[in-house]
Chain A
């Protein structure tokens, strides 16, 4: 096997090449959906995998990004990237507020608080005048990138989404490998010890939470532009559960796990929706959940890593 330091660069290069060529073989809209959810799940994994915080309310950030971007692009007529930036900022701000409240409690309470706060946001979106209630925001214009490049065409939209994904993924990769990321992992492993070493644990948790929320918002903003739609589905607690599943299935605490998990779950949903098992999607997702928790806790990427370590090192 190639030495550890060279390995990622080769891997990243190959993956990037594949991602650039992918729309030749696969329908770009499907690929964009996978990329949006991969970013969403990676953002979630930053919290669960690297700080050990289980947020059950990440749908709120996905939806906030989507709604704000949708509203701005529909009503204000700004160029696409500004709409996405504002959507992301709104989700980041919401993440800061959620984080401030939720980190006051630990473990199971943390999960319940984030879930309840996300439900509050869901009800606000149901009632708010600008969200279009049950219909959602429809016909969001894809617009022009920097006011110049039209994104109507699926292929140019795809490369824009790919660029956003790479930005988000690189940010997460940098965060994890930075000294800040090392402190996050220390908190995950042993919070009291991190405190006793003099780290202001709450500050680190809050920053990680805000960053994760912002990236989830970026995914939601991008998704609303791709599908030209922002709806309550994104804010529902089912969505918060789905992102947990994607991360768990792909591998918690691995860089590529959430990407693999998102691709698997999105493909599965697409495939099932067309077949006779369409009305069983929820049940099948539930089954995968149960199997992952009972027998497959490292997830796909985690198991592959274990296998490689056992056989090649």
Chain B
């Protein structure tokens, strides 16, 4: 096959694949942030720590209890979500009447506690997590080689993202959620249990982060600090997309991953900064974000 712009196609498509995978994680995480923000009006700063907890839950499960990948894929998000719900019920709940910035500060403190504890127990170096047997190997697509596990990440996160979108936009529960985002007092007056809805929403957002963590475990090292740097990038993605739209969060996440991948091919020096640069451009051109509404 001929070269495109002086780049061998294997390299180009390979980096685009990596970009799409990162984009899948951005999408899952920014989706969770957007859902939580919609109803709770807080930015969940422990999102990165909860993503890390998902990966660690899978690793610990395999290491000490022989829990395989497929079970972990369900069990880890459930456990981490239960932990998240506990935090919401005992701590976050006390802050809903205060300035929203306190929610951010509280979750930041929680992130420090969680991350610090895991660094103390496991050190900063990563632990390897094997790719499950049924997803090893890969396919030759002609123009590139696609490792099965990487394909699986993209498919799985797309299914979860669009499933979530469908649930929120097309089901009764989702209608409650959207109504609660608009006007929680009125919802409560109609006899809907808003505090329960808030708890479940937080739990679901956290579960999405933990799921991303389990998906990431086999391709990245499972490390206590894997979440924090990723989270800052996801914040930039959220600023670019705006948190007003579910579909917008998903698309922005994927798009930013792809842009990052392409930057790795054409100008590798900027690959770690390109998303922040896009954020600056968006702030200059369209401050409310790609899918945001002007306040």
Residues of chain A touching chain B, judged by Cβ–Cβ distance below 8 Å, are 54, 101, 104-109, 111-113, 115-117, 119-120, 123-124, 126-127, 237, 241, 244, 248, 279-283, 285-290, 292-294, 297
Contacts of B108 in A (CB 8 A): 241, 244, 289
Interface of A is mostly: helix
Contacts of B113 in A (CB 8 A): 282-283, 286-287, 290
Tell me whether A294 and B94 are in contact (CB under 8 A): yes
The 4 closest A-B pairs by CB, nearest first: A289-B109, A286-B112, A282-B116, A286-B113
Tell me whether B273 and A123 are in contact (CB under 8 A): yes
Residues of chain B touching chain A, judged by Cβ–Cβ distance below 8 Å, are 37, 42-43, 91, 94-95, 98, 100-102, 104-106, 108-117, 119-120, 228-229, 232-233, 235-236, 238-239, 269, 272-273, 276-277, 279-280, 283-284, 287-288, 295
Contacts of A281 in B (CB 8 A): 116
Contacts of B229 in A (CB 8 A): 119
Interface of B is mostly: helix
Cα distance A295–B111 in the bound complex, in angstroms:
18
Of A237, A248, A283, A287, the most chain B CB neighbours within 10 A belong to A283
Chain A nearest Cβ from B249, distance in angstroms: 14
Tell me whether B235 and A115 are in contact (CB under 8 A): yes
Cα distance A283–B130 in the bound complex, in angstroms:
30
Tell me whether A112 and B235 are in contact (CB under 8 A): yes
Contacts of A293 in B (CB 8 A): 95, 102, 105-106, 109
Tell me whether B43 and A237 are in contact (CB under 8 A): no
Tell me whether B101 and A289 are in contact (CB under 8 A): no
Contacts of A54 in B (CB 8 A): 101, 104
Tell me whether B104 and A111 are in contact (CB under 8 A): yes
Given A105-B283, A120-B276, A237-B228: A290 in contact with B104 (beta carbons within 8 A): no
What would be 23 A-B contacts, judged by CB atoms less than 8 Å apart? A54-B104, A101-B283, A107-B100, A108-B100, A108-B101, A108-B104, A111-B43, A112-B43, A112-B239, A119-B229, A119-B233, A123-B272, A237-B228, A241-B112, A280-B116, A282-B116, A286-B116, A289-B105, A289-B106, A290-B110, A292-B109, A293-B109, A294-B91
